[in-house]
Amino acid sequence: MSVIIAGKIDAIMPHLFILSKDSEEYRSILESSSLPELIIESELTEECEIIFGAPSSIRDVLDKLPNLRWVQSMWAGVEPLLDPSLRKDYILTNARGVFGGLMSEYVIGYLLAYERKIFQRADSQKNKVWDKTLTGSLRGKTVGLLGVGSIGADVAQAAKFFGMTVRGFTRESESSEHVDSYFHGGQLLDFVTGLDYLVSILPNTEETQKIVDAGVLNALPSHALFINVGRGSAVDESALLEALNQKKISGAVLDVFEQEPLPKKHPFWETPNLAMTFHTSAPSLPKDIANVFIENYRFYMEGKPLKYQVNFERGY
Amino acid sequence: MSVIIAGKIDAIMPHLFILSKDSEEYRSILESSSLPELIIESELTEECEIIFGAPSSIRDVLDKLPNLRWVQSMWAGVEPLLDPSLRKDYILTNARGVFGGLMSEYVIGYLLAYERKIFQRADSQKNKVWDKTLTGSLRGKTVGLLGVGSIGADVAQAAKFFGMTVRGFTRESESSEHVDSYFHGGQLLDFVTGLDYLVSILPNTEETQKIVDAGVLNALPSHALFINVGRGSAVDESALLEALNQKKISGAVLDVFEQEPLPKKHPFWETPNLAMTFHTSAPSLPKDIANVFIENYRFYMEGKPLKYQVNFERGY
């Protein structure tokens, strides 16, 4: 039953709970943004209809929220909430639009480190060798993006800025103007043939499991570099290990792994031409992620469609 | 006296000599470009009116060329031809427009290596440490460009692409739309105050000698990174050494030095937080440099002003 207080209907004053190790920082950002009507609870109560937090934590409280209407994930990846055993009777939105810039910096940074021989030059300096080896360039190279959502579109734009040709592999969408040619479904091997760089930005879904397998790695030129900034599950790690050890490809840069943190005994730690970055490519910075919530909250209060809704069927 | 051959005037068939260790490659590119009227000499003769080559080699033949009208330098830097004892009764054009992309890749590459802690992550991998240290970002940072010619304008554009604020220090020009604010003359210390990154792209002229001195380095914030892709002469190397050793700035990336190759005994080799790249930032690639010549040759034959003319007084 709705109770009218000072001209407002209590039912439309939504109760929010923030579920994150950085709750205090988020609360302080939201409080200073004077969001209309919002009640930020300091404990999880049955009244909460909005949860803003980390999917791995939200998963454990889903059945304590009879009034749940909307979950805003602080991450791009929402796998913990997709488990078939979990309820899906709410709107799930993820964090998008904030990682593209960081991911572009990461991808361009490691491509340049590779072409510019940044590690080799550091070794030459150590050995006091005036190393005039010619550097490579991004200009004229061809990059293939496995997955072209909002992050992929930003990476595509950065690749175009540096004069690359950009191929995109997607389920069906062809929405980025910065992708020169799109590939879908059965065209995976055509997509990778002749690439200088293969970059996976794929989420973890049933369809993306081990999509980067021996077949894909064998189809790449031997000078190709592989970068994974999506999810570790998209890669057949044994096949990648073999491709690197047998020099079927030139190198790999991995931000994500099947198991994280990577077990100490995993051979990746010592695989030649493999650089790893410990899932740091695009950190969720509270000020960025809070802005996603704030924008969506305004839509929520106006009864408009929320941005970045996750389709529970597709998983992204 | 002009002799008419097959309807053409011999006097307008210019004789070219190519003076470079890559002469054969240049000759083959020019020959396949079917340039009208051009006669490419295989030896240096008195008839040569055009020289296309490396300034350090051209310097030695200047007095053997009574018909010299135009020198196209294969380099951006033309110091060897500026010596007061040398003739200056010809048009000198340098190589421009081809280095900007490579220089941008270099600058962005090393800024990203710094922000993304690329070397630190490599060490963590070596030590099998799952290193979740937060990465930095270029977005929102302020870069100061010492010298904003055609290369600087390209670096400015790349910096804007990554969301940086761009300051430019020039003699007087304010021609790049990608520079947010310009500084000149006595404003050097204002220009560097508060910069996250200082990038020198200055040529070697009287006015740029040791412009990056103790005063400039002291005015930089302690977290600042200094990059030199211009000429080594623009830096007071002792002052830089002291700034790095005393951690007055966070680091330096040097492509150029007062003396090259850098002497083995120079303390830079072992200075902490100094990365060096041995004058490789923007190699003169024959296909790029040949295009500069080809374009200018067409202007030359049409009697139009040549591009990239060097002002002997200013030295660039």
Local structure of B46: helix, strand or coil: coil
Averaged pLDDT, B152-180: 97
Q: Give dist(CA A222, CA A248) in Å, integer.
A: 5
Q: Give dist(CA A266, CA B130) in Å, integer.
A: 12
Determine what percent of chain A is predicted with pLDDT higher than 90. Answer: 91
Q: Return the closest-CA partner of residue A58 out of A88, A28, A36.
A: A88
Averaged pLDDT, B237-260: 98
The CATH number that domain B4-97+284-301 falls under is 3.40.50.720
Q: Return the closest-CA partner of residue B197 out of B152, B165, B163.
A: B165
Task: Please give the structure tokens belonging to residue B48.
Answer: 């040569």
> What ipTM does the predicted assembly reach?
0.87
The alpha carbons of chain B give a radius of gyration, in whole angstroms, of 22
Q: Residue A2 pLDDT > 60, yes or no? A: no
Q: Return the closest-CA partner of residue A50 out of A300, A302, A315, A260.
A: A300
Q: Give dist(CA A254, CA A261) in Å, integer.
A: 12
What type of residue is B1?
A: M
B123 touches chain A (CB under 8 A): no
Q: Give dist(CA A120, CA A111) in Å, integer.
A: 14
| Helices A118-126 and B100-115, axial angle in degrees (round to 10) | 80
How many Cβ atoms are within 10 Å of B171's Cβ, its own excluded?
13
Chain A positions in Cβ-Cβ contact with residue B155 (cut-off 8 Å): none
pLDDT the model gives residue B314: 87
The CATH number that domain B100-276 falls under is 3.40.50.720
Averaged pLDDT, A156-164: 98
Chain B positions in Cβ-Cβ contact with residue A262 (cut-off 8 Å): 130
B139 carries an active-site annotation: no
Are B280 and A132 inside 8 Å of each other by CB? yes
Q: Residue A148 pLDDT > 60, yes or no? A: yes
Nearest CA in chain A to B275: A122
Determine what percent of chain B is predicted with pLDDT higher than 90. Answer: 91
B124 touches chain A (CB under 8 A): yes
pLDDT-derived band at A97 (thresholds 50, 70, 90) equals confident
Q: Give dist(CA B209, CA B211) in Å, integer.
A: 5
Given B87, B231, B266, B298, the catalytic residue: B231
Q: Residue A225 pLDDT > 80, yes or no? A: yes
How many Cβ atoms are within 10 Å of B184's Cβ, its own excluded?
14
Are B108 and A110 inside 8 Å of each other by CB? no
For the whole model, what pTM was predicted?
0.88
Which residues, 6 or more positions from B166, have their beta carbon under 8 angstroms from its beta carbon? B142, B143, B144, B145, B156, B159, B160, B178, B179, B180
Closest Cα in chain B, distance from residue A154 (Å) = 11
B279 carries an active-site annotation: yes
pLDDT-derived band at A316 (thresholds 50, 70, 90) equals confident
Among A98, A114, A116, most B C-beta atoms within 10 A, so best to mutate, is: A116
Burial of B221 (0-12, 13-18, 19+ CB in 10 A): middle
Strand order in the sheet with B274-276: B181-184, B165-170, B142-146, B197-200, B225-228, B251-254, B274-276
The pLDDT tens digits for B192-207 are: 999 999 999 999 999 9
Q: Residue B165 pLDDT > 70, yes or no? A: yes
Are A132 and B269 inside 8 Å of each other by CB? no
The alpha carbons of chain A give a radius of gyration, in whole angstroms, of 22
Q: Which of A106, A125, A134 comes nearest B116 by C-beta? A: A106
According to CATH, where is 3.40.50.720 located in chain B? 4-97+284-301, 100-276
Q: Give CA B213 to chain center in angstroms.
A: 20
Helices (H), B147-283: 150-161, 188-192, 214-219, 237-245
Residue owning tokens 């990846």: A77
Interface of A with B in 261-300 (CB under 8 A): 261-262, 264, 269, 275-281, 283
Closest Cα in chain B, distance from residue A259 (Å) = 12
- Torsion A190-A196-A201-A205 (CA) sign: positive
B137 touches chain A (CB under 8 A): yes
Q: Give CA B63 to chain center in angstroms.
A: 27
